[in-house]
Structure 1
Amino acid sequence: MRNPLRTITGLFTNLHIRGKLLISYFILIFLPLALMTSFSYKNVSRDYEKQILHSADLSFDQAYTFLSYKVNTLIKASDVIYFNADVQTMLTRDKQAFGDDYVQQNIDRQKLESFLNSFQNAEDVYRASLYVPGWLMYAGQNFNFFDMDAFSQTGSYRALLASKDKVSWLPEHAITNNNSNLDPVPVISLLRKIRNSEQTTEIIGIIELNILKELIEDILRKANIANDGAVYLQNANGAIVSCSNMDNFRRINPDPALIQDAQTDGPAWRNAAIGGSDYVIKTRAVENTDWTMVTAIPMTDILTQSIRIRDLMLVLMLVCGLISYGLAYLIAGATVKRILLLKKKMRLVQEGVLNVEAQSASRDEIGELTDSFNHMVKRIRLLVEEQYQNGKEIKNLELKALQAQINPHFLYNTLEMINWKAIDNGVPDIAVISQSLAKFYKLSLNKGRDIVSIEDEINHIRAYVQIQNLRFDNKIKLDVQIDPALYGRDILKLILQPLVENAIIHGILEARDGKEGTIAITGYPEMGEIVLTVADDGVGMPSEQAERLLANGNAGEEVQGYGVRNVDHRIKLCYGQEYGLAYRSSPGNGTSVEIRIPDRFR
């Protein structure tokens, strides 16, 4: 087995110089920074823990004071209502004497309503209400007044009777908003029994004072100094009265037993393990309630500042490493960088991208190699362009050579002579054929020009179809639906004729026995392009065969596809690769050929 040290030495020896420098920088910079970060973290974390807990103490005590003030405000308001003489008088009225006296009951309602409204404000008492005997006409108002007889059937009423405390507290519930047509608002309610001042065993009503749950939550939120901590109120039954952040509370999921050992002035903080995480908690009972205020702060939040310093040291270590890497790269790898850049350009050329150029400002060997590469790529581009132009010229020359085989003047004079001979001898069909053929070749040759108007191309097709109809006994119906605005647009000549010929020979004539078929030619502009369609109702073909027509084709499709591929190739050479033909066909449903060319005026 080889010596591990020799293996490591061999690997280091074979590294590039840039790699060796990077390893040296890592040992000289990253290792000392890591040791310093660890040492700083341990020392700073202790100091910050003391500061954070002191700040949490202040926030807890301030929130507790605000909360006690709100509770006492509600209790004092209940005292005023409890000892009010009018309240005692109106709630102890005799049912037999006042049961039908709706005028007096209405007067009582207005006085009580005005009295209760005087306690309401947005900061302390959201609404003051009374539970009154059910026989009173306003007992079912359900805003400032509620039916005490109906309330006596509830568990909340039984809990109120069983309580020996001065007041009781209802858990969170929703009441109608003070403003009409608004959604109900969540509140926390104080309940207090009103006893007959002359017969204290008789309960004549119940006071309900509501405070917005949002106000209590706001006090608790201000007491929560930790991002992931929670400050909450828990009643004697273990239910949550209010919480600064319910999402955090659900994630922490503290055990209600945490407050069982709470004392009014208990220890400031104690450690607790909740759900596998470490927390510090503080609890304190709220006077005149069955609530306990609890703060739970994750140890991770307490150590946030020290963790930030640790992270800052890690960032500094990373920055130093990156700077070291950059210096090593610039000093030891400047030459490698230029070679890699040239290699990248060569790969682009290998993938077929010829529009590249490598920049070089030096005149050393790499600079000369870069210049040679640029010269080579430039020559390749010129050769490719020259080959493209040659191919384009060859196609045009082939077409011109085909046209040059026919002497136009001799052909026109011969066809004119045939026309007059046919008229002299009373053979009108021959005259029509000769006229159509003369028109066909006149438009085909077009004085040697490759570009014609769409109108001339359509006239050329009309002449061609007229000749074919004389041949095939008028079996071909031509339907031209082209936007008149397109007639003056430019188009390569002899584009439509091969497509129409295919539609007649391989579509219509193969589909019918003695029945006529229709060739529909449509055209319309579309977003800077002209779309022409040649469609027949002939025999059609499978979609796979239609797709192969524009490919190289095989022996069985060579005759049918040669003219089509020639048209597609000419369009792409003239207008660009994004233009050309597109076939759609299925057996028995005919064939449609779409032609797309750019929209150009003559």
Structure 2
Amino acid sequence: MTKLHTPGFLNFFFSLKLKQKLLLSYILLILVPFVTFYWLFNMEISGIIMSNTNYSAERSFDQTFDFLSNKLNHIIRVADVIYNEQSISEILKKNINDYPVSDQIEDMMFLTKYLKSFEDKEDIEKVRLYVPSGLVYSTENVNLFSFDEIIDTEWYNRMHDYTFTLAYIPSQLLQDENNDPEVLSIARFILNTVNYKEKLGVLRIDFNKKDFEQVIDNANTIEGGLTYLENSLGEIVAASDNELVLRYHIPHDIIASADDNDSGFEWVILNNEKIRFRAKLIHNTDWKMITVIPEKLVTDKIKNTMNQLLLMMLIISLIAYLLAFSIAHFMTKRIQTLKNQMHKVQQGVLEPLMNTGGNDEIGELILDYNYMISKIKLLMEEQYQSGQRLKAAELKVLQAQINPHFLYNTLELINRLSKKNKVCEIDEVIHSLTKFYRTNLSKGEDFITLREELEHVSAYVSIQNMRFRNKIKFEINVPDEFMDILVPKIILQPIVENSIIHGIMEKDEGTGIIRISGSIEGDNMILSVQDNGKGIPENIIEKINYGQILDSKSGYGIKNVVERIKLIYGDAYGLEYISKYNEGTTVRIKLPLNKTGNMPEKTEHFQNKSVVY
């Protein structure tokens, strides 16, 4: 017997052309497992589906049965409560000959209110009380009715078999009443507690039949199954399908024998058709719940499952067959793909290629291409960083342009105060100016804490109040949790300067308030600078927010703030202007919390610290 030498087989396999390798792999790795799996699955599927169907049917039956039992028991308890209400029997025992009309009206109001209190329209549609004719309220015809209306009805005559218990009335006995919606009912006599032979009235509780049909339909776990309720006389009370119940109505004697054991679903031959059924008596009633599952439905389900599996396997096999041929052609196209990618590089698209071809010559070309792309990206990143440094230098020049103008105005103020010999005021101005320029320098750092930024703008406002004779009221209302957050320096002072010069000083009285507040919105910190100055017209506000107006009136300061924030954090961040002309302006500074250094925990409420200058 010839032995199979593995190395020799491998040498033979690797010597084949690629297309031949793929075809051989397809036969061994796709078709053989599929055929084996289908054969084994076909042997096991019947038992699995039958077991799952039986488990689902048993569970759904029990759940639906419990729900129906609870629903009916609730209605029965309501009937018992009404039956045991002593005031009702006391009213019904009154002699009509010694029963003033006023008393009858009063009793009518009590009875209708009491009966209506049980009509929740969820479990109970209507509560009816039939009373002797001749009473004023016997013609109320909402909750109170006359005995004369039911004396000849079949359901009332059937009640005589249930003198001391509840009678369960199917809807077919109530068709003459034209109830909308169609109802099922339970009824019982209200007896004289002194003389039980005397029937004082009839209590009837109606409940929606459609609700019961919807509930029992939930017991059907397979399409085409049937669940219905049947009473002790073999009458159909409710069914999930009124057409199927004519076909699969199981004889009463079979139901009776099965219900005694309630051992689950049983097999029976009905009209030459094998079916499975289960029946169970609902406690405290003469209604039985019955579920029927024809065997044909289960076998059809097995056949459909196998047909779907076969179809799926055929589709997968066909796809695999096509792929076996397509991959061979696809692999020869890798060189063309590499060529197309090189053209994209010329257009500025630098994307590496996924090497799925192994270590062949094409794979080596792809590795060389990816190495070239990584080098180009590195050079571009270095160029970008150089541009960033150049841009930062330009912004520092812009920042430097702010200070000389302010310094000139402040020195002029000191000169004025010195001529008036106001030494204390000069000392205060110099102290504030020192604080102001200490922040400007900040040891060459581009970021400072929000506390330092607020001290900086406070120093600026203090100096301006010297110039404008304390016409500016300045308030800071920023949470303590914000104070140690790092922010770009000198982002508040240019905005406050605009609020003073172009807002408050533009008003006739030349006085006003500036408030700085802070809040969190999502993952962002919002710093708001609000004034009650002149405000900005609406058409100009829209242009400012779209970046269309940055003239000399806005100054270098605002431009500096906007450009620095966008350079550091991106175009999603910056300034937003909100203003009403002649009422004031609010400038919202939006900064990302996850990029500002030491972050506070985000909370919904902050204990704010309010500082007024």
TM-score, normalised on structure 1?
Answer: 0.48
Question: If you compute each CA radius of gyration, which structure gives the higher value, 1 or 2?
Answer: 1
